[in-house]
């Protein structure tokens, strides 16, 4: 792992949480949207587990060689994609952010080729039932090898790994394309000889929609300290029924409990914003006094009625601490 770190740590009142969490240094905004880099598509392939996935998700590799971005991107950051054409107001499309899916060394080993995990946005316009196609996602997914793409970034410095990764255990929780940063982080951690415990909980509607499933299952086979767990929301999960990621978190609790109690666990959550509520409720139910405060700060009203929490209370009466890293979208 990189040796440079940005200290965004906090001092904890509690003994086992008093360490500062220093995050890896992340370069920011090397190419602004007004002066984008030109990248070249070098791979564009499906990254779903089954041939008949409900959604279309593609793993798209961009060669950033010769731009300011080469060698400057780390997992947890995003790139901006500038789709050609103009929006409904006649202005150039604004950049759309996509999380990097590659490790620091990139797909090429030198940090020049980085991947994005892109889901085609296909919807119906509720006003008139017409087909709505997301601009940047469908542009990207349709590109062939050799196509040129305008790219800005990188952006994001708070959803990256800590400098001292070996001092922590990691609980990675993803839904859908939220898996992207974890693919790169896992590769970085194992390349650095990481020896702690990593649990990745991956939520998707159907087993055929699992992303990078083969690669992740292979990593789990190679590393006994990597625990890859799925939560399939619309099919039975033997021996469980249908599951959300928070249900899987509850099922894994007997193993995870000691990682939280020891103060080593850091929680990273990436994907749909709706999962925050369920995941935080599960943490609040499972973590005892003295440990819970290290992960969630609860107003008294919230502390007294965990089952009654609503989405509106998250970040107001229920506030994650710096041990909980969030990259979520509605
Ligand atoms: P998806 O394939 O539809 O999978 C989402 C999974 O989450 C489904 O199993 C879904 O279950 C489940 N889910 C829905 N509501 C939930 C809730 N309240 N609690 C727990 N689980 C819930 O996902 P997707 O279409 O790829 O969407 C991923 C989201 O992540 C997008 O919003 C995307 O913008 C975001 N994302 C963010 C980043 C980032 O922050 N950098 C990166 C990548 C993706 P059901 O649908 O069966 O209810």
Tell me: pLDDT of 231 over 90.
Answer: yes
On whether both 237 and 151 belong to a single domain, the answer is no
Of 121, 155, 189, which residue sits at a domain end? 155
On whether both 107 and 134 belong to a single domain, the answer is yes
Mean pLDDT of 84-107: 96
Sign of the CA dihedral running 282, 275, 53, 144:
negative
Measured CA to CA, the distance from residue 318 to residue 88 in angstroms comes to 38
Q: Is residue 305 in some structural domain?
A: yes
Give the domain range for residue 96: 37-155
Does residue 197 have its Cβ closer than 6 Å to ligand 1?
A: no
The pLDDT assigned to 237 comes to 85
- Of the pLDDT bands very low, low, confident and very high (cuts 50, 70, 90), residue 17 is very low
Residue pLDDT, tens place only, 52-71: 888 999 999 999 999 999 99
On whether both 170 and 277 belong to a single domain, the answer is yes
Q: What is the whole-number distance in angstroms between the Cα of residue 271 and the centre of ligand 1?
A: 5
Does residue 203 have its Cβ closer than 6 Å to ligand 1?
A: yes
Q: What percent of the chain has pLDDT over 70?
A: 94
Identify how many contiguous H helices and E strands the chain contains and give both numbers.
7, 17
Does residue 237 have its Cβ closer than 6 Å to ligand 1?
A: no
Q: Which of 123, 147, 143, 158 is nearest to 28 (CA)?
A: 158
Measured CA to CA, the distance from residue 235 to residue 237 in angstroms comes to 6
Q: Is residue 26 in some structural domain?
A: no
The pLDDT assigned to 20 comes to 74
The pLDDT assigned to 146 comes to 98
Tell me: pLDDT of 170 over 50.
Answer: yes
- From the CB of residue 153, how many other CB atoms can be counted at a distance below 10 Å? 29
With the most atoms of ligand 1 within 8 angstroms of its CB, the residue from 271, 309, 311 to mutate is 271
Domain count, the chain: 2
The ligand 1 atom nearest the CA atom of 159: 41
Does residue 233 have its Cβ closer than 6 Å to ligand 1?
A: yes
The ligand 1 atom nearest the CA atom of 179: 43
CATH number, domain with residue 107: 2.40.30.10
Mean pLDDT of 194-213: 97
Q: Is residue 22 in some structural domain?
A: no
Measured CA to CA, the distance from residue 242 to residue 235 in angstroms comes to 5
Q: What is the whole-number distance in angstroms between the Cα of residue 318 and the centre of ligand 1?
A: 21
The torsion region of residue 263 among left (phi > 0), alpha (psi -120 to 50) and beta comes to left
Residue pLDDT, tens place only, 112-133: 999 999 999 999 999 999 999 9
Does residue 226 have its Cβ closer than 6 Å to ligand 1?
A: no
Q: What is the whole-number distance in angstroms between the Cα of residue 328 and the centre of ligand 1?
A: 9
Q: Which of 96, 64, 72, 61 is nearest to 82 (CA)?
A: 96
Tell me: pLDDT of 6 over 80.
Answer: no
Mean pLDDT of 33-40: 97
CA 125 to chain centre: 28
Cα–Cα distance list, 293 to 16, 117, 261, 318 (Å): 12, 34, 11, 11
Does residue 327 have its Cβ closer than 6 Å to ligand 1?
A: yes
- Of the pLDDT bands very low, low, confident and very high (cuts 50, 70, 90), residue 19 is low
Mean pLDDT of 136-155: 98
Q: Is residue 237 in some structural domain?
A: yes
CA 147 to chain centre: 26
Whether a cis peptide bond, with omega within 30° of 0, leads into 191 is no
Q: What is the whole-number distance in angstroms between the Cα of residue 176 and the centre of ligand 1?
A: 5
Does residue 311 have its Cβ closer than 6 Å to ligand 1?
A: no
Q: Which of 256, 324, 326, 327 is nearest to 17 (CA)?
A: 324
Q: Is residue 241 in some structural domain?
A: yes
Cα–Cα distance list, 318 to 3, 247, 314 (Å): 33, 19, 5
Residue nearest to atom 40 of ligand 1 (CA): 327
Report pTM. Answer: 0.94
On whether both 149 and 274 belong to a single domain, the answer is no
Does residue 270 have its Cβ closer than 6 Å to ligand 1?
A: yes
Measured CA to CA, the distance from residue 77 to residue 263 in angstroms comes to 26
Residue pLDDT, tens place only, 250-305: 999 999 999 999 999 999 999 999 999 999 999 999 999 999 999 999 999 999 99
The pLDDT assigned to 233 comes to 96
Q: Which H or E element spans position 265?
A: strand 265-272
Does residue 272 have its Cβ closer than 6 Å to ligand 1?
A: yes
The pLDDT assigned to 3 comes to 31
Are the C-beta atoms of residues 24 and 152 closer than 8 Å to each other?
A: no
On whether both 189 and 316 belong to a single domain, the answer is yes
How do 265-272 and 296-298 pair as beta strands? unpaired
Q: Over the chain, what is the mean pLDDT? A: 93
Q: Is residue 42 in some structural domain?
A: yes
């Amino acid at each position: 792992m990189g040796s440079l770190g940005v200290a965004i740590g906090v001092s904890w009142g509690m003994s086992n949480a008093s360490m500062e969490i220093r995050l890896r240094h992340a370069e920011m905004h090397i190419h602004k949207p007004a002066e984008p880099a030109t990248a070249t598509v070098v791979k564009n392939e499906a990254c779903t587990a089954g041939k008949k996935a409900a959604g279309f998700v593609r793993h798209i590799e961009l060669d950033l060689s010769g731009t300011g971005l080469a060698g400057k991107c780390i997992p947890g950051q995003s790139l901006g994609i500038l789709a050609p054409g103009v929006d409904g107001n006649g202005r150039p499309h604004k950049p759309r952010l996509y999380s990097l899916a590659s490790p620091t060394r990139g797909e090429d080993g030198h940090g020049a080729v980085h991947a994005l995990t892109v889901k085609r946005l296909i919807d119906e316009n509720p006003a008139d039932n017409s087909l709505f196609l997301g601009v940047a996602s469908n542009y990207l997914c349709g590109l062939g090898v050799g196509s040129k793409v305008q790219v800005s970034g990188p952006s994001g410095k708070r959803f990256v790994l800590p400098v001292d990764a070996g001092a922590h255990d990691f609980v990675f929780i993803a839904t859908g394309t939220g898996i992207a940063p974890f693919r790169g982080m896992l590769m970085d951690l194992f390349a650095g000889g990481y020896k702690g415990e990593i649990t990745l909980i991956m939520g998707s509607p159907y087993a055929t929609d699992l992303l990078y499933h083969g690669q992740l299952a292979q990593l789990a086979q190679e590393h006994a300290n990597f625990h890859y767990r799925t939560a399939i929301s619309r099919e039975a999960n033997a021996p469980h029924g249908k599951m959300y990621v928070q249900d899987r978190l509850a099922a894994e609790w007997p193993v995870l409990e000691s990682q939280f109690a020891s103060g080593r666990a850091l929680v990273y959550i990436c994907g749909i914003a709706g999962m925050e509520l369920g995941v935080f409720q599960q943490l609040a139910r499972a973590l005892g006094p003295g440990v819970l405060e290290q992960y969630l700060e609860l107003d008294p009203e919230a502390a007294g009625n965990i089952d009654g929490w609503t989405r509106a209370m998250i970040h107001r009466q229920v506030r994650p601490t710096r041990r909980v890293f969030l990259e979520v979208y509605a």
